[in-house]
Structure 1
Amino acid sequence: MTDSVLLIIDAQQSFYHRGYLEAPETPAFELVLSQLADGCRAKGIPIVDILHVESEGAFAAGSGLVVRLPFLQHQAAATFRKTVHNALTDSGLQQWLEQRQVKHVIISGLRTEQCCETTARVASDFGYRVTFVTEATLTFPLTHNGMTLSIADLRHRTESVLIDRFAAIRRVDDCLQELT
């Protein structure tokens, strides 16, 4: 039995309405997330899908879009729905992890600086060892006060605030190599 689990956060079709298909990084994201999921499956690491639900729009349960992205072909050990930015506090995931004596969570999915980063911070605060696989996360440029942060800027910022505080930052190959 392993004490690790791969969390795939918000990799759902709802993002078709938020620029997912237009992002130039999408093909690379799909490739590395598939590699991470395949590698975890081969090592017996459970994969958990986390889906974000809102009361209306593309993230509403009734929209038909709160389902994982079609390139993901893994068998999920569990699927949880959340209504907040982190995957642990309102979804039932925290209890599921405790029941299985999970000590290590691997973070991947959508959006790098929002739900993925927030989950990493909360997981660290709850005492989990956290591995953040930045290349297996995707986000979109953000503009605030006339300044646009690129995807690269957002990834760099997220890594900078997480590393040595909340998470180990790893590439897919390094993450998989470290798993026993």
Structure 2
Amino acid sequence: MTRALIVIDVQESFRAHPLWATISDPKIADQVDRLVRLARRAGDLVVWVLHSEPGSGDVFDPALGHVRLMAELERAEGEPLIHKTSHNAFTTTNLQQLLTAHGVRELVVCGIRTEQCVETTTRVAGDLGYQVTFVTDATATNPIPHRDAPADQSVAELLADPRTLPAHEVVRRTEYALAGRFATIATVDRLEAAAGHQA
């Protein structure tokens, strides 16, 4: 086993947040599930990552019950589940040790948010020497407010602000930033097609 699928923060916390109304792909779990099934068929390691902010009192506080996989997803027996407290999945976890123990050198990454935890994990993985595939259409994100926007901006104000960076533009810029530097950009369809040719 030299390859692993890293599923990052596809958790109910995001659905419990008002920004979920602006998510780029409300059916992100379906795309991720396709990748999970593909990885299992190939005999790849599937690693589940959840973001946790204990004591924060918000949707990422485990005490509130939202820090769990989205209902459409199911972890199989033996598949590791790790909790992180930083943007990337390496710094505050034993992910690297886990991958080393399984002989993993190639990663496929997906999850929420495209430009935040998924991209940051991809960059760190690239620096650590992993060969990374970033599956863009198995990631999701929200529009990003302008740096000068008020911190308490409502969802309606976010969407009405002409300075807001739309989610599709966030995804496009992430692809440009990662491609050829930290990762290969792929789609679920392309990976399924490639697996079909290998079968």
TM-score by length of 1: 0.92
Work out the percentage of aligned pairs sharing the same amino acid: 37
Does the CA contact (< 8 Å) of 2:10 and 2:29 recur in 1? no
Deviations 1:11-40 (A, max 9, x none): 11111232335536212x232212111111
Query: Which residue in the other structure is 2:40 paired with?
Result: 41
Could you say what secondary structure the match of 1:35 adopts?
Answer: helix
> Which of the pair has more CA radius of gyration?
2
Please tell me the residue identity of whatever aligns with 2:91.
Answer: T
Deviations 1:25-83 (A, max 9, x none): 212x2322121111111111121110111131211121211110001124161001101
Query: Which residue in the other structure is 2:4 paired with?
Result: 5
Query: Which residue in the other structure is 1:157 paired with?
Result: 173
Could you say what secondary structure the match of 1:73 adopts?
Answer: coil
Larger mean Cα displacement after TM superposition, 122-131 or 167-176: 167-176
- Deviation of 1:93 (Å): 0.7
The CA RMSD measured in Å over matched residues stands at 1.7
Query: Which residue in the other structure is 2:102 paired with?
Result: 100
Call closer, same or farther: CA 1:24–1:162 in 2, change over 3 Å.
Answer: closer
Deviations 1:100-147 (A, max 9, x none): 111011110100000000000000000000000010001011111451
Please tell me the residue identity of whatever aligns with 2:64.
Answer: S
Does the CA contact (< 8 Å) of 2:108 and 2:135 recur in 1? yes
Query: Which residue in the other structure is 1:66 paired with?
Result: 67
Please tell me the residue identity of whatever aligns with 1:84.
Answer: S
Query: Which residue in the other structure is 1:140 paired with?
Result: 142
Could you say what secondary structure the match of 1:161 adopts?
Answer: helix
Please tell me the residue identity of whatever aligns with 2:68.
Answer: V
Could you say what secondary structure the match of 2:93 adopts?
Answer: coil
Choose between structure 1 and 2: higher strand proportion.
Answer: 1
